[in-house]
């Protein structure tokens, strides 16, 4: 594999390397079951709207991850039931959080091969949002943790976040490539600082992670259907640059 194009390649974790959103959808389904048992007769759309609003409002307090999600479910349940939700119901939400935190990690097709191949020629980093212990545990359980020089679990992925990480690593943005499923978190802020990005959309993803790609950024932006062709894409970029 040709090298010379990038000094650092970083991956997102949730819904890029391993499945994640489907666990949250299971959590939302369990939440609606509890509401129905308590006697709440609201449409699925109404419940989803309130849960999403509560999650977004709480990001500034709890950040991302399972803990934040379940705290938001508890808050939403109190509002939706006018305080009728019981301690037993809340205990069920807490049990749900433990199930989500210990759910089996399942990699996306081609993820293991892509990371292992790229690790031979490039320093790799994991930059992901969520609960610190949970994200580190998933990286290790996935079998991919050994390939990453650094694992960064951050509260938010903004241009300042990426600028700070790259400054600590001594990497210029023009020599940095980020791979992820989220336009909002993995692509747009990286392009803004002059980096490169590969978008690998997930079939299931949180709507909050959507975004609009500016036309001016397309020369440093690529989209793939899966991670399997990623090494060939990067190898081609490096070969063209060195030609």
Top pLDDT among 94 and 240 is at 94
- pLDDT of 134: 94
- Report the C-alpha dihedral over residues 150, 157, 162, 215, rounded to 10 degrees: 130
pLDDT in tens, 165-192: 999 999 999 999 999 999 989 999 999 9
Q: How confident is the model at residue 240 (pLDDT cuts 50, 70, 90)?
A: low
- pLDDT of 44: 86
Top pLDDT among 217 and 143 is at 143
Comparing C-alpha atoms, which of 75, 176, 78, 64 is closest to residue 129?
64
- pLDDT of 186: 94
Rounded distance between C-alpha atoms, residue 96 and residue 113, angstroms: 32
pLDDT in tens, 49-87: 999 999 999 988 988 889 999 999 999 999 999 888 999
Rounded distance between C-alpha atoms, residue 211 and residue 218, angstroms: 14
Mean pLDDT for 214-236 is 86
List domains and CATH numbers for the chain. Answer: 8-18+106-242 (3.40.50.1000), 21-101 (1.10.150.240)
- pLDDT of 99: 94
Spatial neighbors of 123 by CB under 8 A, at least 6 apart, are: 7, 8, 9, 149
Which three-class secondary structure state does DSSP give residue 228? coil
Rounded distance between C-alpha atoms, residue 220 and residue 16, angstroms: 19
**What number of other Cβ atoms are within 10 A of residue 122's Cβ?**
20
Average pLDDT of the chain to the nearest whole number: 89
User: Which pTM was predicted?
Assistant: 0.87
């Amino acid at each position: 594999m040709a090298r010379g194009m990038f000094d650092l390649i970083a991956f997102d974790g949730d819904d890029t390397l391993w499945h994640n959103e489907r666990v949250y959808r299971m959590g939302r389904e369990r939440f609606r079951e509890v509401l129905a048992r308590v006697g709440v007769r609201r449409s699925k759309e109404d419940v989803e709207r309130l849960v999403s609003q509560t999650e977004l409002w709480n990001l500034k307090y709890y950040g991302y991850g399972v803990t934040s999600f379940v705290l938001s479910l508890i808050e939403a349940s109190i509002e939706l039931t006018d305080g009728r939700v019981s301690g037993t119901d809340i205990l069920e939400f807490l049990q749900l959080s433990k199930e989500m935190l210990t759910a089996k990690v399942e990699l996306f097709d081609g993820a293991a091969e892509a990371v292992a191949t790229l690790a031979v020629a490039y320093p790799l980093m994991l930059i992901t949002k969520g609960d610190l212990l949970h994200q580190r545990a998933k990286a290790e359980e996935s079998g991919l943790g050994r390939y990453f020089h650094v694992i960064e679990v951050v509260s938010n992925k903004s241009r300042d976040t990426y600028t700070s990480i790259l400054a600590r690593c001594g990497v210029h943005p023009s020599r940095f490539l980020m791979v992820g499923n989220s336009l909002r978190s993995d692509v747009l802020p990286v392009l803004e600082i002059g980096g490169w990005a590969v978008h690998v959309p997930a079939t299931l993803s949180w709507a909050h992670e959507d975004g609009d790609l500016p036309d001016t950024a397309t020369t440093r932006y690529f989209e793939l259907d899966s991670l399997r062709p990623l090494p060939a894409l990067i190898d081609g970029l490096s070969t063209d640059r060195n030609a």
